Amino acid sequence: MTSLNPKDLSTGRLHGYLLSAVAPRPIAFASTIDANGNPNLSPFSFFNVFSARPPIMIFSPARRVRDNTTKHTLKNVEAIKEVVINVVNYDIVHQMSLSSTEYPEDVNEFEKAGLTMLPSEEVKPFRVVESPIQFECKVNDIIKLGTEGGAGNLVICEVLKLHISDEVLNEDGVINQEALDLVARAGGSYYTRAKKGFFEIPKPLRTMGIGVDYLPDHVKNSMILTGNNLGMLANVDSIPSQKEVDQFVKDISKRYPEIKTASHRQKHKLAQNYLSYGDVESAWKLLLS
């Protein structure tokens, strides 16, 4: 067995060990607003529930290991001591991942991730419509655990109201775990789906994905493509050129000559198939053809 002293490890290496060993971790999809009322949405996997009476949840927006900066969420809960914690199920996992992109402070991650803002009843931050369970919370305290990169900040939240979709409730009012279909975070690019096991999602681009709001209307408003599909398509920093699209159509038409006359619906279904294999580039080229 390898034995290690945390003091002998770089912060990045220690961070990696901790995240891979303490897994899977539930995800707090935290919605906040800044002092000017601008919404922010970001996921955190340093998160859990710690008390039922009072109902207390804690999540931790840690200082970035890379450059020791802090996240907009921390700044927001320091200014406006309210937050909505939305749970993440499989249906929105790619959109959730996209929202973790480090967009500028004035960018609305709801719009970038293609998620819908819903006014809360007890607090100012918005709920995520697509999340099956939402917790409106007040922030009771923020405990700073350090000043170096990787240091956590415990945001202690008291639940004021919770909202549960009828679709995940049994007839007796108990949450059906299989219907809820939660996802959790593991190390590296790994996630786990509660009822199916591990899968991977590429980390959001450092160069920033274009976002769902920049997708062409016929893609964004597709009747075929799911939210997860849109999240994958939006996690690119640029779309293929017309020259690349033309070459793709030329190549694929050798096998599928009917592609040149295919309807939007047919193309969207085929693009969805490419996405199921993680081939975002081919999906884009097909959708732009």
Which domains does the chain show, CATH number per domain?
6-200 (2.30.110.10), 212-287 (no CATH)
CA distance to 61, 145, 215, per residue, from 71 (Å): 7, 15, 26
| Whole-model pTM over 0.85 | yes
Q: Taking all residues of the chain, what is their mean pLDDT, rounded to a whole number? A: 93
Q: Cβ distance 265 to 224 under 8 Å? A: yes
CA 288 – CA 201 distance, rounded (Å): 24
pLDDT number for residue 175: 97
Locus of tokens 């994958």? 232
CA 239 – CA 247 distance, rounded (Å): 15
245 burial (CB, 10 Å; 0-12 / 13-18 / 19+) is: middle
CA 195 – CA 216 distance, rounded (Å): 34
Band (pLDDT 50/70/90 cuts) for residue 160 is: very high
As a whole number of Å, the end-to-end CA separation of the chain is: 55
Q: In terms of pLDDT, which residue wins out, 63 or 275?
A: 275
Question: In this structure, what DSSP letter does residue 156 have?
Answer: E
Residues facing 83 on adjacent strands? 137
CA distance to 88, 127, 229, per residue, from 130 (Å): 9, 9, 14
pLDDT number for residue 157: 98
Asked if pLDDT for residue 144 goes beyond 90, the answer is yes
Hey, what amino acid is at 180?
L
Query: Per the structure block, which two tokens stand in for 43?
Result: 């996921």
CA distance to 62, 72, 90, per residue, from 15 (Å): 11, 21, 25
How many CA atoms, within 13 angstroms, populate the side-chain half-sphere of residue 281? Answer: 5
Stretch 112-127: mean pLDDT? 98
Band (pLDDT 50/70/90 cuts) for residue 73 is: very high
Query: Per the structure block, which two tokens stand in for 225?
Result: 């493509």
Asked if pLDDT for residue 206 goes beyond 80, the answer is no
